Amino acid sequence: MQFFVVTIFREIFDSFLGTALVGKAVQGGQLGVRFVDPRDFTTDRHHSTDDTPYGGGGGMVMKPEPVVAALDSINPGSRPHRVLLTPQGHRLDQRILEQLLEQQEVVLVCGRYEGFDERIRNVVDREISIGDYVLNGGEVAAMVVMDGVARLVPGVLGNATSVETESHGDGLLEYPQYTRPREFSGMVVPDVLLQGDHEQIRLWRRRQMLLRTRDRRPDLWRRFVPTAEDVTLLQQAEGRVAGNLASRTYIALVHHPVHDRQRRIITTAITNLDLHDIARSSRTFGLAGYLVVTPLASQQALARRITDHWKTGHGATHNPLRGEALALLEVLPSLEGAVDHVFELEGQRPLVVATTAVGQPGQVTRDAVVEAAGSRPLLLVLGTGWGLAPQVLEAADRVLSPLSGLDPYNHLSVRSAAAILLDRFFGLRD
């Protein structure tokens, strides 16, 4: 791996390149570093690489001629990958380090003063920032980049597996590390690390990586895609394999009493899409049941006929996954009956949480609902038509704050709202 560093302060790098792993990599030939000074390409007697900015303002700006001439002098035949180190660049992460390693020859351009003449940006391949702050120059950033890439060069690290398991190796933070003594200031090494069971150690370390990343770096967690094993490890860590809140949660779709657009109390008809889509969302997020509430016998019979087709009829063999979702569905004549149904199944009354698209004082957040539920079952109540009637909202234990975006338009379908709510309550990226 060959680096070319464009800098007017080459001496800053002496200690960095002469010590530790980077120094060994340079001495061993795995890493090469050459320096190019823009002052060597100036034409004035003061060897000036900066000048005052057009338009006024404080500070000085790196001139384009010496920097571009310095770049053009570096292996003109092969044209190495050019990187401008600037606070305006893409934030450095492990993925970018791996991409730079693939280039094999990389030029790092270190800025000074108030930055670069804008035209220099036109002759580089990418811009990188090491964080949202300002340094006196790009030399420290160049050392960060070289150190990060050097660890990835084969033969630089004595233990190749270190690269795979350390922080950001696969998008996760590293697991906790311990060494002797076993106990220090009352803090003890976890027993699992002392028992010699390598598979249990692997699982413990993986679980710690997941939990640390989720809790400390939500920005990384949003990009991470967990495996099936990861999901199980997270559930086990939270003590939720058999008794998690999702497995104690029921969603109720109420067709009476609800409003129409004139705010009259009505009974709505069931729809095939609502039955199917909310059942699929309920199954995806591991809910205990999906309760369809309608007082009309004809509508109850229709709902059962549709679900039976997928649970026991031709649909069961045609699409068994749909039947698995619709197996969660129960049809009940009233919301009170739904509450009693959950009580019979769970042995205690559920926390009843109503939903609405209208913001009002006293509404609560998802976290407040989870805290209030505790070990109780949870019944999330959604309305059809133009929303739940006032008596339903008043009788609920809590009313959830409405879903909303940047735009005041707020007319989600009930099945869309159900999917969003379940993801916010039980999704791995909540």
Residue numbers of the domain that contains 386: 246-426
Q: Are 323 and 316 in contact (CB under 8 A)?
A: yes
Residues 175 and 109 in one domain: no
pLDDT tens figures, 201-256? 999 999 999 988 888 887 888 888 889 899 888 877 765 543 478 999 999 999 99
Map residue 141 onto helix, strand or coil: helix
Q: Is pLDDT larger for residue 125 or for residue 164?
A: 125
Map residue 332 onto helix, strand or coil: strand
Range among 237-241, 349-353, 368-372 rated most confident: 349-353
Residues 279 and 383 in one domain: yes
Give the pLDDT of residue 404: 87
- What is the DSSP track for 10-78? GGGGHHHHHSHHHHHHHHHTS-EEEEE-GGGG--STT---EEPPTT--SS-EE-HHHHHHHHHTS-TTT
Whole-angstrom Cα distance, residue 211 to residue 205?
10
Counting the structural domains of the chain, the total is: 3
Does residue 160 form part of some domain?
Answer: no
Residues 268 and 404 in one domain: yes
Mean pLDDT along residues 41-52: 94
Give the pLDDT of residue 385: 96
Residues 223 and 293 in one domain: no
Residues 81 and 121 in one domain: yes
Provide the H-helix boundaries in 328-399: 335-346, 366-373, 390-395
DSSP percent split of the chain into helix, strand, coil, nearest 5? 45, 20, 40
The span from the first CA to the last CA of the chain, in angstroms, equals: 41
Does residue 158 form part of some domain?
Answer: no
Give the pLDDT of residue 158: 66
> Counting runs of H as helices and runs of E as strands, what totals does the chain give?
17, 17
Residue percentage of the chain with pLDDT more than 90: 72
**CATH number for 361:** 3.40.1280.10
Residues 199 and 346 in one domain: no
Q: pTM to 2 decimals?
A: 0.59
**CATH number for 217:** 1.10.1270.20
- Report angle CA 152, 158, 159 to the nearest 5 degrees: 80
Residues 275 and 393 in one domain: yes
Compute the Cα dihedral for 114, 118, 119, 122 and give only its sign.
positive
> Which amino acid appears at position 395 of this protein?
A
